[in-house]
Amino acid sequence: LLMETNLNKALERKEFVLLYQPIIELNNNKIVAAEALIRWQHPDLGLIPPARFIPLAEETGLIKPIGYWVIRTVCEQLKLWQKQYGMQDFRIAVNISAIQFEDEDFIEKVKQILQETNVHPSHLEFEITESVMQNIEKSMAILGELRTLGIHVSLDDFGTGYSSLSILKHLPINNIKIDKSFIDDVKFADDETIVQNIIDMSQNMKFKVVAEGIENEIQLNFLREKQCDYGQGYFFNMPLPVLDFEKKLV
């Protein structure tokens, strides 16, 4: 209960921070994008990871204002980095909760934020999981609107949900993010067929493929060999505060 009342005030108290984890193009090692990951800088409890407050934010509905704060902050950061570093092809990805995705005003609010921050939609990316798409027809409609706007969409945590492959083919999305659990299994030849098959299938469907949670060179070499497009993980970088991220850009 204490956490709930505190979470209520966390936005106005400016206690949320975003970390940025680089996303690397695997064939040239360039940073092409970043995933924004929220943290709660609590005055007494220290840095609280999202797993410990996002569920509560979803239950209480606070996820909506928090989610729009994340999108706005990312757009402002994009604008700053574009001014300082150019970065014309750079994108930042934001994780979107089901409750926000289904918010009737979602598209309107996103458009408004883009207008107010003067960011081109092609620099913004939304990460949605299969579980976010509860109602497939409604989801297809929202994804269609995002595509029309020019916002990129990634299917996050791919492989952990139950999406039917026949639907996958028709989703208006850009990227498939292979869940970390499959990348963890890339150690021995026998365990690598799933990852290889996800890459091949996704690329046949004209999606780009991102591998999440790359932690060692064995995984990286395997993914390169299989022509996985992009990767992120501790082997490259942890999620970084703004100033540390900027050191990677110069």
Q: Rank residues 128 and 199 by Cβ distance to Mn ion and give the closer one.
A: 128
231 binds, among ligand G, Na ion, Mn ion, none (CB under 5 to 8 A by kind): none
What's the closest the beta carbon of residue 181 comes to Na ion, in angstroms?
A: 9
Q: Which residues bind Na ion (CB under 5 A)?
A: 156-157, 212
Q: Rank residues 6 and 146 by Cβ distance to Mn ion and give the closer one.
A: 146
Inter-residue contact 163 to 139 (CB < 8 Å): no
Residue 29 zone, left/alpha/beta (φ > 0; ψ -120 to 50; rest): left
Inter-residue contact 220 to 27 (CB < 8 Å): no
What's the closest the beta carbon of residue 62 comes to Na ion, in angstroms?
A: 22
What DSSP string runs through 159-220? TSS---HHHHTT---SEEEE-HHHHHTTTSGGGGHHHHHHHHHHHHTT-EEEE----SHHHH
Q: Which of 125, 127, 192, 229 binds Mn ion (CB under 5 A)?
A: 127
Look up residue 121 and give its amino acid.
Answer: P
Q: Rank residues 130 and 156 by Cβ distance to Na ion and give the closer one.
A: 156
Q: Which residues bind ligand G (CB under 6 A)?
A: 21, 37-38, 49-51, 54, 67, 70, 95, 97, 127, 156-157, 212-215, 232-234, 239
What's the closest the beta carbon of residue 150 comes to ligand G, in angstroms?
A: 21
Pairing of β 16-25 and β 230-231: antiparallel
Please tell me whether residue 125 binds Mn ion under the rule CB under 5 A.
Answer: no
